[in-house]
Structure formats: structure tokens, C-alpha cells
Amino acid sequence: MARAATTSDVFNAIAEPRRREILGLLRAGERSVSEVSQVLGLPQPGTSKHLRVLREVGLVRDRQAGKQRLYQLDARGLRAIHEWTGGFERFWTESFDRLAEYVQDLKQTRDQEE
């Protein structure tokens, strides 16, 4: 089965490491394209393309401020990812519970041997 176009699927959009870096940067607040480019050391045209993809899948919003275009994170777009990864929460919780029990058993065994 063919993969969905990057611009229509949030999972494909965030599969690109630079886009995840951009999202992390925008978590701290609104930034211009030139600021994002400078902080991440990317050429501005490439940064603009990444931001366009993120905007098209609903992960960032933009607004015009004079001659600059400012971008900010739109975390509502992460809902699908949150819901999908949340399905694994029970797995990890149970795994950590088993690990805690194992560590406790080891500690009790060690204490009994002393």
C-alpha cells in the first residue's frame, strides 16, 4: 500500500527529523522563518518548505506581522499522535510495574542473604 502524501498525514510529516526539531523549537513560542532557520542552521527556503508541510497537516499556524510571517505550534494537530501513542501507555505501565516488582524481589533476596 502506498504511503499517504506527507502534506496530508501528520505521522508522515513528523517522520522527518527536521520537522520534529521545528516543532520542538516552536514549543517555546512564536518565531519567524528566519529565526527558525538561524537556530536550526537550515537554509531559509528549506525551512519554509518544512513549515508549509507542518501548516498543511495542522501542526503549526502562521500569521503575517509586517513583512514577516510568524509561526506557532498548534498542538491540536498532535491529537492523532497522542491518541495512537496513548494506546501503548498500558504496555509501558505494566512493563514498569513488572520491573519494579523484580527489583523489589532482588532487594529482598539480597537483604535475606546478608
Q: 2 pLDDT band (50/70/90 cuts)?
A: very low
Give the structural domain span for 57: 6-73
* C-alpha–C-alpha distance, residues 28 and 23, integer Å: 9
Q: For position 41, what pLDDT does the model report?
A: 95
Q: 111 pLDDT band (50/70/90 cuts)?
A: confident
* C-alpha–C-alpha distance, residues 58 and 39, integer Å: 22
How many C-beta atoms surround the C-beta of residue 64 within 10 A? Answer: 8
Q: Is residue 53 part of a domain?
A: yes
Q: 61 pLDDT band (50/70/90 cuts)?
A: very high
* C-alpha–C-alpha distance, residues 31 and 88, integer Å: 33
Q: Is residue 14 part of a domain?
A: yes
Q: Is residue 23 part of a domain?
A: yes
Least confident of 1-15, 28-42, 53-67, 93-107: 1-15
Instruction: Name residue, grid cell 516488582.
Output: 101
Q: Is residue 13 part of a domain?
A: yes
How many C-beta atoms surround the C-beta of residue 41 within 10 A? Answer: 7
Number of domains observed in the structure of the chain: 1
Q: For position 114, what pLDDT does the model report?
A: 76
* C-alpha–C-alpha distance, residues 93 and 32, integer Å: 39
Q: For position 66, what pLDDT does the model report?
A: 92
Higher-confidence residue: 23 or 110?
Answer: 23
